[in-house]
Structure 1
Amino acid sequence: MMIRRAGPGDVAALRAIAAAAYEKYISRIGRAPAPMTADYARQVSDGQAWAAVQGGQVVGFAILIAQPGYLLLENVAVLPAAQGRGVGARLLALAEEHARGLGLGEVRLYTNEAMTENIAYYTRHGYAETRRHEQDGFRRVFFRKPVP
């Protein structure tokens, strides 16, 4: 697997991956999760999008946004057919590497409270829950992970 910055030609793939990865949560949340309506063209243009490529196909991505003192992992998504193969773990590792490279001391992320699988996944990967509250009309769970 190769991870690279996403380019303009990847925008359609990012949208398709987000739709496939988050579709199962629509009924739990009662509407499309935020990643299904994100502006991937802008995030690619801003240099925030990273693509995981296997066999010439984009199978996952991460949106990384530098903030004062931390890196926000705004979104990480993997095609359902590629899940369970380490793609998500590699994208989490990318976020940590990128934070270190920018001299930032931690990675922060959030997920929807209804996405219980994600909450367990981030916990298994060393992220600690910091709080829960409503943001932008979604019940979100916030996490952080220090990066030495």
Structure 2
Amino acid sequence: MTGTRPYDPARDDLAGIVGLIHRAFAQYRGKLEPESGALSESVDSLRRRLEQNRLFLAEDDGRICGAVFATEKGDAVYLDRLAVDPAVRGRGIARRLIEAVEAHARATGAARITLGVRLALQQNIDYFQRWGFVETGRKAHEGFDAPTSMEMEKRL
């Protein structure tokens, strides 16, 4: 059975979480321009993220198999770095992590959840649309003239 919970610095190994993120995003290596920043995450970068972000983890039989960051931004909570270990995909882990962010957002009084997704990843766009997210705009990464990502939100 998979459960979700907040990151616990006394219990959870950041190096293991970095490895999980790298495994989850490895399929995009060489396929995105610019390269996904998730592939350059490190223990230090996660430690810095944790200064202003909540981290939720999914476990399967006591093993961390998914992670997602949640950042409060005005009236919204930004969902970032949704990562599920490729070995356990298709078991509803991403959904449970999104639900954890949604519960956190509701508890903080946020009006919506926002996220960014690469335009090149239509399957990911479709996934978030199935969970109630809608497009709110597009933006270009630094150094690009045309949009590279889609901004999405889900009203609570």
In the superposition, the TM-score normalised over structure 2's length comes to: 0.85
**Structure 2 residue runs without a partner (length 5+):** none
- Consecutive aligned runs of 4 or more in structure 1 exceeding 4 Å deviation: none
Q: Please report how far the alpha carbon of residue 116 of structure 1 lies from its aligned counterpart in structure 2 after TM superposition.
A: 2.0
User: What is the identity, as a one-letter code, of the residue corresponding to 1:33?
Assistant: S
Structure number with greater Rg is 2
Match of 2:58 in 1: 52
Give me the identity figure in percent.
26
RMSD: 1.7
Q: Please report how far the alpha carbon of residue 114 of structure 1 lies from its aligned counterpart in structure 2 after TM superposition.
A: 1.7
What is the aligned counterpart of 2:152 among 140, 143, 146?
A: 143
Separation in 1, partners of 2:98, 2:70: 10
Give the number of the structure whose residues are more often helix, by fraction.
Answer: 1
Q: How many residues were matched structurally?
A: 147
Distance 1:26 1:46, change over 3 A: same
Q: Please report how far the alpha carbon of residue 95 of structure 1 lies from its aligned counterpart in structure 2 after TM superposition.
A: 1.2
Structure 2 residue 131 is the aligned partner of structure 1 residue 125: yes
Q: Please report how far the alpha carbon of residue 2 of structure 1 lies from its aligned counterpart in structure 2 after TM superposition.
A: 2.1
Distance 1:25 1:137, change over 3 A: farther
How do 1:60-79 residues align onto structure 2 when only pairs under 5 Å count? Answer: 60-79=66-85
Distance 1:137 1:83, change over 3 A: farther
Q: Please report how far the alpha carbon of residue 82 of structure 1 lies from its aligned counterpart in structure 2 after TM superposition.
A: 1.1
How do 1:10-29 residues align onto structure 2 when only pairs under 5 Å count? Answer: 10-29=13-32
Distance 1:14 1:143, change over 3 A: same
